[in-house]
Structure 1
Amino acid sequence: MLPLAQGLLKFSHCQRDVFCSRVPPLCPICGQSVVASWRLEEAPVHVPCPFVNGHREKCSFLVKPTRGEFLGDYDGDSDLHVGITDTSGVVYHYNETGVRGDTLGWEQCVSVPLVPPDNYALIDQWDGYLTEHAASEQWLPHRYSERDHNCCSFALRFINRILSLLEKPPLSTTQFTERFVLPRTRRASKYLSVCREVSQHGFYAVHREDR
């Protein structure tokens, strides 16, 4: 599915938005030429992929499947794993082996930026804060619990530490998930659903409102 997802297109015809990997000469809904009746707003556009290379995202919260990748492997119910990047794209994350700093393996993620790009003071100190957090004894391997002391615990406690430095109130797991994670993962899920439909049927069409 990966090559398809990298080239997902959308065009409009017969009051529908049609998603495909390449624009067909005839509309798969009505059978008429898609080019002859196009207006500017109906012309094909590239659908941005919601997944990024996490190693190119600095000072960010990352989400990826625990096993495999979103494109081709994720079924919507598989376990997810999270981490935090430093300013060089090294991903710090916590699992049953303790804290790891990965330079590979997070090439297809959902990313949530944690620092405004113009907050130079915080960015300058970010790596120090992150390595100090990762070195804490609370993240030793034997303390790992899949249920209540896991990768999410590691990430959220670091985020709340940064919030305290900024004199902002801490976030609960629910608050952080609802405000920052769910909007992006929902968009990613919709994207994957469209990719699966296009992969199976050659196109995917939805009704659109009149413009």
Structure 2
Amino acid sequence: MDKSVIRFSHCGRNIYCFSIPERCPQCGVGLGGRRLEEAPVSIPSPFSNGHKALCSFLIAPTEGHFVREFDGGSDLHTGITDTNGVVYNYTKTGVRRDEYGWERCISIPLVQPDMYNLINQWDRYLDKFSSAHMWDTQWQRFDEEKHNCYNFTLMFINCVLATEHKRALSKDEFTNAFVLPRIKRASKYSVLCREIAENHFYIVMDHKNRHGDHSEN
């Protein structure tokens, strides 16, 4: 599932695969020595190694491998990385600091590369926030609805925004603007990978040819 997804066009179809075949799976014409309608394109994966995504918001499935298990309805877990790639995340046992386990996830950068002052303070902010009593299970228990990993990450983001004299983001604002678009893209990519793994190809009509000449087909 770590293979790159490739898209090429032939006989009015967009064909997705892990490697270019010798023959077109739609029409059977040999592709060797025959120019494709367009150069093959590599489809970038929406997943990344969270431990290399510094100062970022991460989303991963609670269990399983993201590409194989994520279907848009899986239970998700969120975390925040420090400047060393350690993932701070809130669980039923309290705040964890994971140095591994987030190698395949969705990452959303929270800091621009030129924000040097914030980057220099980032780890201190994250340590102080994570040590607050409200994240100590002896003081307040984990609650799947009201006191969970998502609350932990969003509250930290809003604390950082406050230090930058910026307004806080509501849960709906952050979810709709940053989280849902990436989850939808990841879900589509996961379905695409599963289709290719099971059937070798995934074929759809090329939208540019839907209203054009289909004499080739």
**TM-score of the two chains, using structure 2 as the length reference:** 0.91
* Other-structure match for 2:214: none
SS of equivalent to 1:148: coil
Instruction: Tell me, yes or no, if structure 1 residue 43 matches structure 2 residue 39.
Output: yes
- Which structure has the bigger radius of gyration? 2
* Other-structure match for 2:197: 199
* Other-structure match for 2:19: 22
Contact kept, 8 Å, 1:8 with 1:21, in 2: the verdict is yes
* Other-structure match for 1:135: 131
Stretches of 4+ aligned residues off by more than 3 angstroms:
none
Contact kept, 8 Å, 2:72 with 2:183, in 1: the verdict is no
User: After alignment, is 145-154 or 44-53 more displaced?
Assistant: 44-53
Q: Supply the AA of the counterpart residue of 1:136.
A: A
* Other-structure match for 1:183: 181
SS of equivalent to 1:210: helix
Contact kept, 8 Å, 1:13 with 1:34, in 2: the verdict is no
* Other-structure match for 2:167: 169
SS of equivalent to 2:207: coil
Instruction: Tell me, yes or no, if structure 1 residue 111 matches structure 2 residue 121.
Output: no
Distance (Å, rounded) in 1 between the aligned partners of 2:77 and 2:17? 30
How far off is 1:132 after superposition?
A: 0.3
CA deviation vs aligned residue, 1:87-112 (integer Å, no higher than 9, x gap): 00000000100001000100001000
Distance (Å, rounded) in 2 between the aligned partners of 1:86 and 1:66? 20
Shift in alpha-carbon separation, 1:160–1:182, aligned structure 2, 3 A:
same
How far off is 1:52 after superposition?
A: 0.5
Q: Supply the AA of the counterpart residue of 1:106.
A: W
Kindly indicate which of the two structures has a greater share of residues assigned to helix.
1
Q: Supply the AA of the counterpart residue of 1:120.
A: Y
- Give RMSD over aligned pairs: 1.4
SS of equivalent to 2:208: coil
CA deviation vs aligned residue, 1:68-89 (integer Å, no higher than 9, x gap): 1212222332200000000000
SS of equivalent to 1:171: coil
